[in-house]
Amino acid sequence: MRIGVFCSGGDAPGMNACVRAVVRTARASRHDVIGIRRGYQGLLEEDFHIGTDGSPLMTQRDVSGWGRHGGAFLRSSRSEEFRSAAGQQKTLDILEKHNIDALIPIGGDGTFRGATDLVRQWDGMVIGCPGTIDNDLVGTDCTIGFSTAVQTAVEAVDKIRDTAESHERMFLIEVMGRHSGYIALFTAVAAGAEVVCLPESVGSIAVLVDQLNVMKNRQKDSILLVVSEGDEGGGAEKIQQQLESAGCPFPMQSVILGHLQRGGTPSPEDRILASQLGYWAVVSLEEGHTGAMVGSIAGQRVLTPFAQTSGGKTLPPSLMELIGVMAH
């Protein structure tokens, strides 16, 4: 088989470990691997990884040491051109020109929407690996990058707690998660934040102010509120404005953690998950599977059709309960 592998959408720590696993697994069974740079856009531009031997076929040595590095050595992008009918026809022609039999895209929901379109029109096989810090894909306990992003966010929130305590202030800390509160909820629990605002639950500013008054009366003098960027309140700064107008009893400051959550050395959990999923992706192709994302649920390989991976991942209710109890 000739397999193309690429990273697409927002980069996530562990993507390199996943590419390494795909290359090593595929080469062990003598499959050829083409590393496609810059996701679907790179495929459209025939932008392939060229190894030290000058060949576009990746070798085991090309991925030496990749497992421990953040970012995406193959680069990543979001492609407008691929979404058009003309872009997809061009993609089909390029796949045929380079005799590519199968693709392994590593990315999130946008990547898998693209993969769904491809599977409809192409007679090759496609198995995706979930790579996004958001952990918003159904069919896997965790996505590649989530564990590291939470670790990064928790380290930042711990530091903000020091200054919040020193100055007896409340901080609103905005974390990533376009439509999902996973990073916010896990960060809030791990860092001991008093409040969390999530896209999955609709909150009221008046109720929040009541809760903050109760905390003030309990002699709490520093408050951390973790806000998911996807929260309906509109992010940390907008929530701060609304709280100010509604009479919040604490002096407030907002911090947006932003893209620092996407970088950094992948955690051991992400490296292990990425290695497992990259291996399983190749095995799944060898078994003839296509049109699906490979995930890990309770340590077992699970294949979920691309169309069923987005939009339905629920947060663990037990963790949501924990926030309120721990804030006392």
Give residues in contact with ligand F6P (CB under 6 A): 9-10, 108, 132-134, 176-178, 229, 262
In whole angstroms, the minimum distance from the beta carbon of 15 to ligand F6P comes to: 12
| Cβ 145 to ligand F6P shortest distance, Å | 8
Identity of the residue, 24 or 38, whose beta carbon is nearer to ligand F6P in the bound complex: 38
Instruction: Find the shortest distance in angstroms from Cβ 177 to ligand F6P.
Output: 5
Pairwise CA distance, residues 112 & 189, whole Å:
30
Residue 94 and residue 102 in contact, taking contact as beta carbons nearer than 8 Å: no
175 vs 277, beta carbon nearer ligand F6P: 175
Residues facing 5 on adjacent strands? 35, 104
Given the residues 134, 136, 231, 270, the one annotated as active site: 134
Nearest residue (CB) to ligand F6P, 98 versus 178 = 178
Known active-site residue 101? no
Residue with Cβ nearer ligand F6P (117 or 134): 134
Residue 40: burial class (beta carbons within 10 Å; 0-12, 13-18, 19+): buried
Q: How far is the CB of 100 from ligand F6P (least distance, A)?
A: 26
Number of helices (H), then strands (E), belonging to the chain: the values are 11, 10
Nearer to ligand F6P, 12 or 127 (CB): 12
Two tokens, residue 3: 């397999």
In Å, what is the CA distance from 79 to each residue of 10, 20, 71, 84?
12, 24, 18, 10
Q: How far is the CB of 324 from ligand F6P (least distance, A)?
A: 25
Cα angle: 138, vertex 264, 45; to 5 degrees: 70
Question: Which is nearer to ligand F6P, 10 or 139 (by Cβ)?
Answer: 10
Q: Which one-letter amino acid corresponds to residue 30?
A: R
Label the pairing between strands 195-197 and 170-175.
unpaired
How many CA atoms are closer than 13 Å to the CA of 250, on its beta-carbon side?
Answer: 29
Least Cβ distance, residue 124 to ligand F6P (angstroms): 26
Cα(25)–Cα(29) distance, integer angstroms: 7
E strands along the chain, which residues? 2-7, 32-35, 102-107, 125-130, 170-175, 195-197, 223-228, 252-256, 292-297, 300-305
Using CA atoms, how far apart are residues 10 and 76, in angstroms rounded to an integer? 7
* Catalytically active residues, by annotation: 134
